[in-house]
Amino acid sequence: MFRTGLDYMGLVVAYTRANIRAQMEYPGAFLSQVIAMIINDGAWVMFWVFFFSRFRVLHGWGLPDVISLWSVTAAGFGIANAIMGNSLQLAPLIIQGELDVWLSHPRAVLPHMLLGRSVPSAWGDAVFGYAAYVFFVRPDLARMVLFIILTFGTALVFVGLGILAGSLSFFIGNASSLADEWRNAVVMFSTYPPALFQGAVKWLLFSVIPAGFVSYMPVEALRSLSLMYASGALLGALGILAVSAAVFHCGLRRYESGNLISFNG
Amino acid sequence: MKEITKYGWIAYITARSHIAYAGEVFTRIVLMTVILYVFSRVWLAVYGVNSGPRLAGLTITQMIWYLVATEAFALSGPRTWYEVEQDVRTGRVAVQLIHPLSYGLTHLGKAMGERIVRFAIYMLAGVVIALAIAGPLRWTASGLAMFLAILPLAFLLDFLGHFLVGLCAFWLESVNGLALIYTRATMLLGGLILPMEMYPAALQPTLRRLPFASMVYAPGRMFVDPSGAVFFKAFWTQAAALIVFLCIVGAVQAAAFKRVFSNGG
């Protein structure tokens, strides 16, 4: 078990290294996307700076809390798609019958497929998330360590969500737009204080739109240095990942090859 | 007249093709619903603790209807920059240049056809959602006339912005990043979520002189709280920005087309 885990860590490192090398074949395009994403995320932070310069508190949440929401979400989204970028592409891969290349690998399909691509702009999200947390929140060592652990938990939620949303294409045909909007909804809810949402919506935020595990529980853990919230966030992330893997493998039985010859590189 | 009709037909055909896909229309409605729901929760929380019924001169009902207009504008923006980038990357631009059509006006026709349909869908969805959340808004004929009068130039300016970003593909490997920055500039500097009056006082005069406010804030304000003074100010800003944008686009396009090489085949 431990050995398998180490093997997969090695696989992650090897794929990430290869993906970075591929991206750096076009350094201008890569860097411009990274910088643009940092500016994009920065624009949202500026919005909140303007907002809180006018209104000091929003339902008990101040600027550092909202920046924490943004940091955890951006860093988690960035890590997920910088390392496992194909989670964003799963729906088109299924529709166009392009999973064949991953099915021919001698090891598990899902990890190889997910690791096969890196999204350049996601590196910008990851850099922004960490930088914003350090500069705006100024955490102590314990919080910084917890932040790093929790961002990887959030990354697992995004990977799981990507697999779930993309796997819809196994069952309902072209689900690309639906998958995009589902992810957008999760990101949208994750970057606003949970205190704004009540009743049935709150339940949705811990199930269909798992913003609760993306940012609410991690930020609560960081605010109060609570291991209970941190454990809840990580267990939730693992639960979503497990469900998504089960749905993917269930859907894979319905997959039809596109008879395409393709190479990865 | 014949020339105008030609590009009018391009706009008409593009508009028809965007009505044809019911699934796409559905996802747009879902997106608008999520956005308006989240922002309405933010503003309901802010108005709930505010001492007076108005913020930036707007009631909560007007604020939510303001979001309907500004979000419909922002979300309906066509991906002209992507089309131009693809023309350049695939070499399609060389073929398009030999057609008896203006390259820029063809894209304008397509962009307007797409924009009008998408804007109408977002507005219709927004009206239903705003009625459910905030109740009806009292319109005046003059207010609606000013709103409708200021929209075409706002669409045109936004098209020129997107087109300019796309033309940069003649020099850059990817314009993804530039497009993202342009979109965020429109959001942050245009008053997409916060009306101009809510920005720090020191920034407001500068922001009002930029074209972004005349594209986003002005139509939004005309929709909910029409004012002749704001209308004429925005109109003159739009007219000045149009001249500047046309000069820049003309110069960049001329320089870009000099870089087109045709090798036959």
Note the ipTM here. Answer: 0.82
What region, left, alpha or beta, does residue A8 occupy, with left being phi > 0 and alpha being psi -120 to 50 degrees? alpha
Q: Which of B31, B203, B216 best tests the A interface by mutation, with the highest count of A CBs <10 A?
A: B31
| Predicted local distance difference test score (pLDDT) of residue B262 | 67
A263 domain residue, yes or no: no
Cα B214-B217-B219 angle, rounded to 5 deg? 80
CB A120 within 8 A of CB A38: no
* Residue whose tokens read 């320089």: B255
Query: Would the pLDDT of B156 be above 90?
Result: yes
Q: Among A37, A50, A53, whose Cβ lies nearest the Cβ of B180? A: A37
CB B119 within 8 A of CB B45: no
List the one residue out of B132, B43, B41, B64 whose CA is nearest residue A201. Answer: B41
CB B125 within 8 A of CB B31: no
pLDDT tens by residue, B165-202: 999 999 987 888 899 999 999 999 999 999 999 998 99
CA-nearest residue to A41 within chain B is B184
φ, ψ of residue B262 to 5 degrees: the values are -110, 125
A264 domain residue, yes or no: no
| Predicted local distance difference test score (pLDDT) of residue A254 | 86
CA-nearest residue to B190 within chain A is A47
Cβ contact B194–A50 (<8 Å): yes
List the one residue out of A114, A113, A107 whose CA is nearest residue A80. Answer: A114
Q: Band of the pLDDT at B52, cuts 50, 70, 90?
A: confident
Domains in chain A, number: 1
CB A83 within 8 A of CB A118: yes
**In chain B, which residues have their Cβ closer than 8 Å to the Cβ of A65?**
none
Cβ contact B173–A177 (<8 Å): no
Q: Which amino acid is at B1?
A: M
CB A142 within 8 A of CB A223: no
A222 domain residue, yes or no: yes
Query: Would the pLDDT of A187 be above 80?
Result: yes
Q: Which amino acid is at A74?
A: A
Cβ contact B30–A181 (<8 Å): yes
Beta-carbon contacts of residue B215 (< 8 Å; ≥ 6 apart): B73, B154, B157, B158, B186, B190, B238
Query: Would the pLDDT of B243 be above 90?
Result: yes
Query: Would the pLDDT of B232 be above 80?
Result: yes
| Percent of the residues in chain B that have a pLDDT greater than 70, as a whole number | 95
Cβ contact A59–B45 (<8 Å): yes
Query: Would the pLDDT of B265 be above 70?
Result: no
φ, ψ of residue A58 to 5 degrees: the values are -125, 100
pTM over 0.95: no
A56 domain residue, yes or no: yes
A33 touches chain B (CB under 8 A): yes
**In chain A, which residues have their Cβ closer than 8 Å to the Cβ of B24?**
177
A173 touches chain B (CB under 8 A): no
Query: Would the pLDDT of A128 be above 80?
Result: yes
User: Which comes out higher in pLDDT, residue B2 or A48?
Assistant: A48
Query: Would the pLDDT of A265 be above 60?
Result: no
CB B110 within 8 A of CB B8: no
Cβ contact A54–B198 (<8 Å): yes
Q: Which of A45, A48, A59, A65 best tests the B interface by mutation, with the highest count of B CBs <10 A?
A: A59
Chain A nearest C-alpha distance from B199 (Å): 6
Averaged pLDDT, A132-148: 95
Query: Would the pLDDT of B264 be above 70?
Result: no
Cβ contact B188–A46 (<8 Å): yes
Q: Give the mean pLDDT of chain B.
A: 89
Residue span of the structural domain in which A62 resides: 2-252
| Predicted local distance difference test score (pLDDT) of residue A82 | 96
Beta-carbon contacts of residue B57 (< 8 Å; ≥ 6 apart): B197, B225
Cα-only R_g, chain A: 19
Averaged pLDDT, A36-63: 90
Query: Would the pLDDT of A150 be above 90?
Result: yes
| Predicted local distance difference test score (pLDDT) of residue A262 | 61
Q: Band of the pLDDT at A264, cuts 50, 70, 90?
A: low
Q: Which amino acid is at B187?
A: M
Chain B nearest C-alpha distance from A85 (Å): 17
Averaged pLDDT, A56-61: 85
| Percent of the residues in chain A that have a pLDDT greater than 90, as a whole number | 62
Exposure of A173 in the CB half-sphere (CA atoms within 13 A): 1
Q: Band of the pLDDT at A28, cuts 50, 70, 90?
A: confident
pLDDT tens by residue, A221-236: 999 999 999 999 999 9
Q: Band of the pLDDT at B94, cuts 50, 70, 90?
A: confident
A171 touches chain B (CB under 8 A): no
DSSP lists the bridge partners of residue A58 as A61
Averaged pLDDT, A64-74: 95
A47 touches chain B (CB under 8 A): yes
A28 touches chain B (CB under 8 A): yes
| Predicted local distance difference test score (pLDDT) of residue A1 | 67
A163 domain residue, yes or no: yes
Does an H or E element contain B127, and which?
A: helix B103-134
A261 domain residue, yes or no: no
Averaged pLDDT, B210-235: 92
Sign (positive/negative) of CA torsion B177, A127, A155, A198?
negative
CB B177 within 8 A of CB A36: yes
Averaged pLDDT, B156-165: 96
Query: Would the pLDDT of A261 be above 70?
Result: no
Chain B nearest C-alpha distance from A189 (Å): 7
Averaged pLDDT, A8-33: 89
Chain B nearest C-alpha distance from A250 (Å): 25
A33 domain residue, yes or no: yes
Averaged pLDDT, A48-52: 91
